[in-house]
Structure 1
Amino acid sequence: MENRVTLQEWFDRVDSEKSGSITAVQLKAALAVGNLQFPLSVVHQMIRMYDFDRNGTMSFQEFVALNNFLLKVATYLLLLVLNHSTFYTSSYQFTSHHMFVRLPQLSSFVLLTHVVPYLQVQHAFSDLERGRGFLVPDDVFEALVKIGFKLDSPAFYTVCESFDQSKNGRFRLDDFISICIFLQSARNLFNSFDTAKQGRVTLDLNQFVYCSKYTLNCLI
């Protein structure tokens, strides 16, 4: 309940017009305050991913769904950090409201609250990139597997090429989150056609055109 109240307060601040929903422009500006610089196309995709009523804006309930997805990303990034740490000896534990993790370079517990997970993602990313300021493809692949996106090599490198804005094989935090948003959106779209849950679909030309347009909108 405490977490939901805090989320509502954050949402209300972003919803400056008190309309009960926020636009992509408002969400982009709010994320920028937290030093997360996303192209507007990616922010639009964040909204589309959980736009249950298809009105192009994000209600509070839809915002909670996005928040939960980013929390999942943050959680698995942290687990990846712990797996990479050769000095890590303490265990981590989850409670209903907080996640406590002892990181090797800190002498006390770091408290990461289940409030707005953008900062959690930032903290986890910072520890994973080990002072470089970016992830390399191997890091990205391992993180995606942890999150639940198991891609073969051609699919993975196609995604990397699409979101590697500088074309140097280095992925910043916003690049990585953009990849996660794209893959989750692609999974949602695939699942909408895979009604039999067989892991494969057959598309006619109209459906293929729709999917192509949808996925192109996900790309930067």
Structure 2
Amino acid sequence: MGGRAGCDVSGAAGSVAGVMAAYPGQGFPGAGQAPGAPSAGPYSGAPYGHPPPGGPYGQPGGGPYGGNAPPGVDPEAFSWFQAVDADRSGYISVKELKQALVNSNWSTFNDETCLLMINMFDKTRSGRIDLYGFSALLNFIRQWKNLFQQYDRDQSGSISFSELQQAFSQMGYNLSPQFSQLLLARYAQRSSNPSIQLDRFIQICMQLQSTTDAFREKDTGLVGNVRLSYEDFLTMVVTRMM
């Protein structure tokens, strides 16, 4: 590699990628259909609060799209879009999305997860999404909510350490308890019994899958380890953060 120092990425990075012939995480929302789950316990409502009563712009038919959902847009998503679009711009920003999304404990979604999701559905790279992007985003969140509920086995509204370990295993990731504990220390809410809320679960899984994809591109033999230069490693990480 042009004389640059190399590094063998097989231990920690290999386990993060999930050392398997077929890489894990391919059934994540956005890449396929997440399994469904019944509405019960802390999941009986939507994962994003409730729209205000009455017309979202004060009068029926207000806002940039008028009073009716355009063709191909779910009426519920249309109503939500109008309620969330506080500045009536016809677009949803990260700030507006953050104000609309809540976890089961009524804490708002964190900035990082909102930005990741906006970027995923922002086709123009403008930092905001239109009605169609927002409609796709709500469907995406519903799928993540269903997946989250499946792994929240005690229906507490959050993912514990043991549940996180089981979730990784069922997703196909071969990750150590030490790595799961590291994630819990980094992303869990501070308490005597640390656990992961929906927003952090989405963030962890999206970043894990993104890193896995980057590792898999280098692991052409699907053996679970690759040799990278230091700069190649930094490039792989930085490009997945953008």
TM over 0.5: yes
Verify: 1:188 aligned to 2:210, yes or no. Answer: yes
Structure 1: gaps spanning 5 or more residues: 85-126
Aligned match of 1:75: 146
Q: Deviations over 1:99-126 (max 9, x none)?
A: xxxxxxxxxxxxxxxxxxxxxxxxxxxx
Size of the alignment, in residue pairs? 167
In proportion to residue count, which structure has more helix?
1
> What whole-Å deviation, never above 9, does each CA across 1:20-59 have from its counterpart, x for those lacking one?
3211111111125982422323322332344343222233
**Kept in 2: contact 1:134–1:170 (CA 8 A):** no
Q: 2:99 aligns with which of 29, 39, 45?
A: 29
Q: Deviations over 1:82-112 (max 9, x none)?
A: xx5xxxxxxxxxxxxxxxxxxxxxxxxxxxx
Summarize the Cα distance change of 1:12–1:170 in structure 2 as closer, same or farther, 3 Å threshold.
same
- 1:123-180 CA distance string (max 9 Å, x none): xxxx612xxx65420123334555x36241143232222112316442153xx43132
Q: Shift of the alpha carbon at 1:17?
A: 2.6
**Sequence identity of aligned pairs in percent?**
19
Q: What are the residue-to-residue correspondences of 1:123-162 with 2, within 5 Å?
A: 128-129=155-156, 134-146=158-170, 148=171, 150-153=173-176, 154-162=178-186
Instruction: For 1:85-100, list aligned pairs within 5 A.
Output: none
Change (3 A) 1:80 1:179: closer
Structure-1-length-normalised TM-score:
0.57
Uncovered stretches (5+) of structure 2, i.e. residues with no partner: 1-70
Residue 47 of structure 1 is matched in structure 2 by 118
Matched residue type, 1:142 = Q
The amino acid of 1:29's aligned partner reads Q
User: In the aligned structure 2, how far is the partner of 1:52 from the partner of 1:213?
Assistant: 20
Corresponding residue for residue 208 of structure 1: 233
Cα separation, partners in 2 of 1:69 and 1:144, compared to 1, 3 Å: farther
CA RMSD of aligned residues (A): 3.7
Counterpart contact for 2:187–2:196, Cα < 8 Å? no
